[in-house]
Structure 1
Amino acid sequence: MIKKFIKRFSIIAAPMFILTLITYLSITKIPDKIYINEESKLTDVSLQNNSFLNKIKLNNDKLNVDFLGLFPIKSVAVQTVSNLELYPGGTSVGVKLSTNGVLVVGYSNIETSDGTMDSPGKSSGIELGDMILKVNGTEIQSSKDLIAKVKSSSDENLSVEILRGKSKLTKEIKLIKEGEEYKLGLWVRDSTAGIGTLTFYHENTDTFGALGHPITDADTNTIFSIKDGELLKSSILSVRKGQRGTPGELKGLFLNEKDSIGSINKNLGSGIYGKTTEPLINPVFNSPMQVGYRNEINEGPAQIITTIGEEGPKLYDIEIVKLLPQDKPGPKSMVIRVTDEELLNRTGGIVQGMSGSPIIQNDKIIGAVTHVLINKPDYGYGIYIEWMLKDAEILP
């Protein structure tokens, strides 16, 4: 009797469990908020990744998702945005950043008359990726500033304030003398520079966005906490073609390091942002374009605007292979594949320095190139443009 009951229960419960699982997975992929252009109708809005088991109902400025049309399981806010337009980027830009404090990137042992001693900084709990903000209560402005403060110390004990992630900590360090000078035993960095691609320029606010991903330290993979930064004009000199296992690279130079075209004030997971000192309108794609939001993007053909030589920015064909579920900003919103024969012949696909190249679909800016898949250089990732616009504070 009990076995029959269990068997019957299983026959009923198994399908219910599968349906519940499908529903749960579909809910996790549906965003809490979507954006639509002012001229769009709410009845035209669809939700990506919505399960066939769920029914969508309209309720003023919300989309309600009901399981089997009977049980409410999620409500999605709809934000109407006045027809937002951006000037597309696609031009190469130079980036210079100065850190807020100094970044710890390595350890150094100390040579004393008694032999080799471990790094005092390491022994006191300083970790790679920590930002040193203050020494004995005094702010640190640069690597030279830190070296000078350690050298001038009259006491072997040093109080160091660090930033680790989002937490500020204080470490007490006992310095060791190497010769006649005290040593901290740390390698530090206070700046970085490189080449990337501009994504957009918003004329109404003089705001720009670029890269589509954060600038990180190559040794520690730590996102730079920036004090200030500059956007510079740059030129592409050559291309190292990407191959399986070896990412390619755009090699360029700053045209004039003294002539900044913008100030960088944010280095976030979705890119770098700041204010311009001049309109960043490229000579080829010099008309503003509408923004395409997540609910407007489709898997299939698209294009990117990027610069790989002296001819300047050009359109190249790509395919959006897969749209990925995201509930917060991040550089991996979609998988893309380069299909343009010219671009494949010259670069092998996506290369370093191409990050930030705007992605265009149906004559709208929908995202930006962010990363290459090392073992498949014709494949990479892109970010939804709305994530960049939110972090740039252009979208609410």
Structure 2
Amino acid sequence: MERDYMRQNKCFIFATLKKRVLICLFLIIAIAVILLEVIWVLPSEYNIKIGNEHTLNMKFPLFYSINSDYDHIVEISKLDRLLDNRFSISTNLQLKTINKGSAKLDFRIFGVIPYKSVRVNVVPRFSVVPSGKSIGINLNTDGVLIVGVSEVVDVDGEVHDLADEGNIRIGDLLMAINREDVRNSSHVAEIVQSSKGEELQLTLIREGKKFSTNLVPVESIRDNKYRLGFWIRDRSAGVGTLTFLHLESGKFGALGHAVTDVDTGSVLTVKNGEIVSSKIIDIKKSEKGSPGEIKGIFQRTQKPIGMLKINTNSGLFGKIEIETEKLVSYPQIEIAYQHEIQEGKAYILTTLDDNSIEKYDIKIEKINFQTKPDGKGMIIKITDERLLSKTGGIVQGMSGSPIIQNEKIVGAVTHVFVNDPAKGYAIFIEWMVSELANFDNF
């Protein structure tokens, strides 16, 4: 009996120890992962130019592995030759690009626990001409945007909620009526009045999906005109900044963020439009809690700088229409990908009240590595006293101002911090130039 008790007791102690060891291992691994995230930000994706090298500064004991199928794309070597070629502890890995393509690099904590897979894209070099020119933007929408809904009281005093009956919402795009494409707001009004109250088939788009609904226009008691119970808008205009020119393709990029409807926040689709030269006539300075604004007038007597093609979350893009010599005020330079950008000094090109493009110093305070486009890739701070004295910081109309560091264009200004207007967000330039492939010049 005593022997059985001792045997059971040993088994219990062993099981308890095993459990504690497993818990300790789990805690060690959890702490290791937390430490990795704190002391070493490892992006999930790198875009490295052909012929360039990049060093990963390893800050923790990690094994790495790469499929031999990628040997012709990227070559990996360890700079610290004192350690085994595949185990890294506070050492450096050098990535040397060979050919265009993509490779996957897998990291494991202590060589056992999967930590992260990193995609290395070897990309061609890409150069643009940074601008900073103030521009006026005229955008006509594809279809008309529904910006409001309202009830209609007919001539007999009966109230109709047509938008609710037709499942129509603010932000929907009205594309056609009775299968006829709508050209603008006036065209919609003509069709509705000529219907004389007969049922109309409306074709709309909501969140990228097309659908149809039928509505019977109601004669309003207010003015005896036929109404459909919603308000529409077909255009937008404003002042922004031209970011870059791509001379080889004859294309441009501007703004760094989408043109959205002032009421609905919807990204406007482009039917046609143009960018023109803008003459700045006044600047409202930014203050804490109140963003400032650049006020300009469109110089319509001149030929448009370019024709709009697409409006995306990464900016406005289109075809250059005038001789590029009239627009070039800065030499052509390479773009920088995310891993090439450093926290620290940089400068922007922008246009203020003297209507000439000038350099102004900024500081890149934080880099948020991304795998998909977003306008908040960097946090920047205006440090140039000349700019701060004129604008108080970032103001509306400066969106699109190119950011240059180490004589490479790294991004563009996008947003201002309302409570700290000297600071704001910027988009990575790689997201903007990637949009150039999404349209042609014809």
User: Normalised by the size of structure 2, how large is the TM-score?
Assistant: 0.81
Alpha-carbon distance in structure 1 between the residues aligned to 2:238 and 2:104: 43
With 209-218 and 309-318 compared, the bigger mean Cα shift is at: 309-318
Contact 1:91 1:282 (8 Å CA) reproduced:
no
5 Å-filtered alignment, 1:26-175, equals 30-36=43-49, 38-40=50-52, 44-46=53-55, 52-54=60-62, 59-61=71-73, 62=103, 64-68=105-109, 70=111, 73-82=116-125, 84-115=126-157, 117-175=159-217
% identical equivalent positions: 34
Q: What letter is aligned with 2:178? A: N
Give deviations 1:213-257, integer Å, cap 9, x for gaps: 000001000000110110111111111000111001000010116
Contact 2:44 2:117 (8 Å CA) reproduced:
no
Whether 1:370 aligns to 2:414 is: yes
- Residue 174 of structure 1: how far off its partner (Å): 3.1
Alpha-carbon distance in structure 1 between the residues aligned to 2:199 and 2:340: 60
Whether 1:318 aligns to 2:330 is: no
Contact 1:228 1:263 (8 Å CA) reproduced:
yes
Count how many residue pairs are aligned between Structure 1 and Structure 2: 389
- Residue 31 of structure 1: how far off its partner (Å): 3.7
Q: Find the counterpart in structure 1 of residue 339 from structure 2.
A: 295
Q: What letter is aligned with 1:385? A: I
- Residue 17 of structure 1: how far off its partner (Å): 2.6
Q: What letter is aligned with 2:186? A: K
Give deviations 1:359-388, integer Å, cap 9, x for gaps: 000011111001101111011001111110
- Residue 69 of structure 1: how far off its partner (Å): 7.1
**Structure 2 residue ranges without an equivalent (≥5):** 1-11, 74-102
- Residue 112 of structure 1: how far off its partner (Å): 2.6
Of the candidates 15, 24, 31, which is equivalent to residue 28 of structure 2?
A: 15
Contact 2:146 2:174 (8 Å CA) reproduced:
yes
Alpha-carbon distance in structure 1 between the residues aligned to 2:433 and 2:292: 28
Alpha-carbon distance in structure 2 between the residues aligned to 1:122 and 1:258: 46
Q: Secondary structure at the match of 2:395?
A: coil
Contact 2:204 2:211 (8 Å CA) reproduced:
yes
**Structure 1 residue ranges without an equivalent (≥5):** none
Whether 1:345 aligns to 2:358 is: no
Whether 1:193 aligns to 2:193 is: no
- Residue 28 of structure 1: how far off its partner (Å): 9.8
Whether 1:271 aligns to 2:284 is: no
- Pair member with larger Rg: 2
The structure-2 alpha-carbon separation of the partners of 1:52 and 1:348, relative to structure 1 and needing over 3 Å to count, comes to farther
Alpha-carbon distance in structure 2 between the residues aligned to 1:152 and 1:377: 51
Q: Secondary structure at the match of 1:393?
A: helix
- Residue 188 of structure 1: how far off its partner (Å): 0.3
Alpha-carbon distance in structure 2 between the residues aligned to 1:255 and 1:56: 58
Q: Find the counterpart in structure 1 of residue 93 from structure 2.
A: none
- Residue 56 of structure 1: how far off its partner (Å): 5.9
Calculate the aligned-residue CA RMSD, in Å: 2.7
With 249-258 and 383-392 compared, the bigger mean Cα shift is at: 249-258
The structure-2 alpha-carbon separation of the partners of 1:352 and 1:56, relative to structure 1 and needing over 3 Å to count, comes to farther
Q: What letter is aligned with 1:324? A: N
Give deviations 1:25-74, integer Å, cap 9, x for gaps: 999962445132x442xxx31469x8645466674323624224736742
Contact 2:304 2:322 (8 Å CA) reproduced:
no
Q: Find the counterpart in structure 2 of residue 388 from structure 1.
A: 432
Give deviations 1:56-102, integer Å, cap 9, x for gaps: 667432362422473674242322313x2211110101110110100
Q: Find the counterpart in structure 1 of residue 267 from structure 2.
A: 223
Q: Secondary structure at the match of 1:19?
A: helix
Alpha-carbon distance in structure 2 between the residues aligned to 1:181 and 1:285: 54
Contact 1:133 1:163 (8 Å CA) reproduced:
yes
Contact 2:335 2:408 (8 Å CA) reproduced:
yes
With 239-248 and 25-34 compared, the bigger mean Cα shift is at: 25-34
Alpha-carbon distance in structure 2 between the residues aligned to 1:137 and 1:27: 57
- Residue 349 of structure 1: how far off its partner (Å): 0.8
Alpha-carbon distance in structure 2 between the residues aligned to 1:228 and 1:311: 27
Q: What letter is aligned with 2:365? A: V
Q: Secondary structure at the match of 1:115?
A: coil
With 73-82 and 146-155 compared, the bigger mean Cα shift is at: 73-82
Give deviations 1:301-340, integer Å, cap 9, x for gaps: 1110111122511111111111112111121111111111
Contact 1:108 1:118 (8 Å CA) reproduced:
no
Alpha-carbon distance in structure 1 between the residues aligned to 2:417 and 2:299: 30
Alpha-carbon distance in structure 2 between the residues aligned to 1:136 and 1:203: 43
Alpha-carbon distance in structure 2 between the residues aligned to 1:155 and 1:307: 52
Alpha-carbon distance in structure 2 between the residues aligned to 1:182 and 1:28: 61
- Residue 12 of structure 1: how far off its partner (Å): 1.9
